[in-house]
Structure 1
Amino acid sequence: MRYPVALALTLLTETPVYAAALVRVGRVRPGRAAAAAVLVNLVTHPLLWWTLRHWTDGPAAAYWTTFALSEAAVCAVEALLLCPLAGLRPRDPLPWIAAGTANAASLLAGLLTGLLAGS
């Protein structure tokens, strides 16, 4: 999958998840919630993409280990970035749950897209 497609898929998948959680549970205005979702992804997605790119030619175990650790780091960074952008506190569970859920949905969308595209 090419980077622009991967970024678009991520934004199309994660933005509604973040927005729904932030608006419904966090009582964040819809525009602010959507903007926060896009901004956290614009910070983390390129870093994740370029980090994983260096591991694609190596052993599968190294790639999947790096993938798992990188996804965990992305969730943590997105949760922490979400706090000031959405007016939340880091000790609140909402940013952590929203980040984990949004990234899990995005990961699933990416895997299904890859399977359907035959890559």
Structure 2
Amino acid sequence: MPYPLAFALTLLVEVPLYVGALALDGTGRARATAAAVAVNCATHPALWWFLGRFTGTTAAAYWTALTLAELAVVAVEAALLVPLAGSRGPLPYAASFTANAASVLAGMLVARGLAAG
């Protein structure tokens, strides 16, 4: 999948999830949207570059790299939500985990559809 499509898909999936989750903490829609876009701008390019190093390797190596990289992204995005969205406690971590899990799944489905088509 080309990078612009992957990034657009990530934003399409993650931003509404972040906005909805952050509303539970009282974060306004504009601030939550800006925070969601910012955390993805901070993590997505590095994640894409890192995972590109495992393309063409064994399935085990790729899946291990994907899992570890996504766990790192969840932690970084959650930590960034604290100052950017004013979110506290477990909510930024739950929101980050949920948003990233959903976008990984969406990416897999789109990639499979592109490969089949």
Give TM class, smaller chain: over 0.9
Consecutive unaligned residues of structure 2, counting only runs of 5 or more, are: none
Name the counterpart of 1:53: 52
Aligned with residue 111 of structure 2, among 73, 95, 114: 114
Q: CA RMSD in A?
A: 0.9
Find the aligned partners of 1:113 and 1:69 in 2 and give their Cα distance: 22
| 1:118 to partner: Cα distance | 1.7
- Give the paired residue count: 116
2:106 pairs with 1:105: no
Find the aligned partners of 1:37 and 1:8 in 2 and give their Cα distance: 13
Q: TM-score, normalised by structure 2?
A: 0.96
Consecutive unaligned residues of structure 1, counting only runs of 5 or more, are: none
Name the counterpart of 1:42: 41
Amino acid at match of 2:19: A
| 1:88 to partner: Cα distance | 2.1
Amino acid at match of 1:105: A
| 1:114 to partner: Cα distance | 1.1
Misfit runs of 4+, over 2 Å:
none
